[in-house]
Amino acid sequence: MKRILGLGFVLLLAATAAPSMAASGDAVSVDPVTHQVVLENGHVRVLQVMAAPGASAAMHSHPPMVAVSLGTARLRMKAPDGASSILDLHPGQVLWLDPLEHAWELLAGDMHVIAVELKGAPTADAPLPPHEPVAVDPVNHHVLFDNDHVRVFDVLATPGGSSPMHRHPPFLLVSLDAARLRMTLPDGSRPVFDLHPGQVLWLEDAEHAWALLAGRAHVVAVEVKSARAQAP
C-alpha cells in the first residue's frame, strides 16, 4: 500500500470547519449504525466507519482527529454552508482533520475508515522517551505528520524485516494488513503476535524489538502528545 496523505482534502476541511460546531450532533449520536466506537479511553475515542454505496450520514461533528482509510471509496461531502465536494479515499490514506462539521453520501466503493478522535489539549513540547522508534529505526518507521496533538508514522515491512529494541510513548496502532511478528521484550521473552486489517490497539509505553515472520506489515501509529506528557 502506498502512503497517501490527502493534503488537499485536509485543506478543504480546514476551510469548512464551522464556528457553529455545536449546531450539529456528535457523529455517533447522529449516525450510530455507520459510526461505531471500537475503543475509548481518557485520550482517544476510536470509530470504525463502514458503509456501502448509497449510504449517507446527516450533518454531524467531529473533534480533532486522524482518519485512516482501509478501503477505496468516492464520497460527496457537504459543508454546513451547503458547499459540496468529491472525496476519493484509498487504502493507506492518512488524514489530519481539525474540528469539523459535515454530511456525506457514499457514491462508489466500500468505505472503511478508522477515525481516531482526540480528547486532550494540544501539547507541543511533550518529550519523547529514550530510544524512540523513529530515531532508532528510521528505515521502518516513517513520520507522516507531526503537530501539537499527534505524531503519526507508518511502519512498512515484508517477511525477513526486523527492527531493533525501541520504546514507544503511548500510542494507538491501526493495522492495514495481515502479518505475523515475533516480538522480543526487555525480559527476553519472545511472543508471537498476529495483526489483521482493521485491528486497533492502544499501547502504553511499549518497549520491544520485532521480526516479521509472515505477511506484510503495514501499521499506522498515532502517538497522542497529551498522553505522552502524562506518561511516567
Q: In this predicted model, what pLDDT tens digit does every residue of 40-52 receive, in sequence order?
A: 999 999 999 999 9
Query: How far from 211 is each of 24, 49, 66, 84, 192, CA to CA, in Å?
Result: 46, 31, 27, 46, 10
Residue 122 CA to residue 103 CA, distance in Å, equals 26
Residue 43 CA to residue 121 CA, distance in Å, equals 10
Q: In this predicted model, what pLDDT tens digit does every residue of 173-202 receive, in sequence order?
A: 999 999 999 999 999 999 999 999 999 999
CB 224 within 8 A of CB 118: yes
- Does residue 58 surpass a pLDDT of 70? yes
Which top CATH class is 7-118? Answer: mainly beta
Spell out the domain ranges in the chain: 7-118, 133-230
Q: What are phi and psi of 208, to 5 degrees?
A: -170, 165
pLDDT band at 14 (very low <50, low <70, confident <90, very high): very low
What's residue 229's pLDDT? 84
CATH T-level assignment (fold) for domain 133-230: Jelly Rolls (2.60.120)
Average of per-residue pLDDT across 155-167? 95
Q: In this predicted model, what pLDDT tens digit does every residue of 17-39 receive, in sequence order?
A: 444 444 579 999 999 999 999 99
Q: What are phi and psi of 135, to 5 degrees?
A: -70, -40
Q: In this predicted model, what pLDDT tens digit does every residue of 86-131 receive, in sequence order?
A: 999 999 999 999 999 999 999 999 999 999 999 988 887 788 888 9
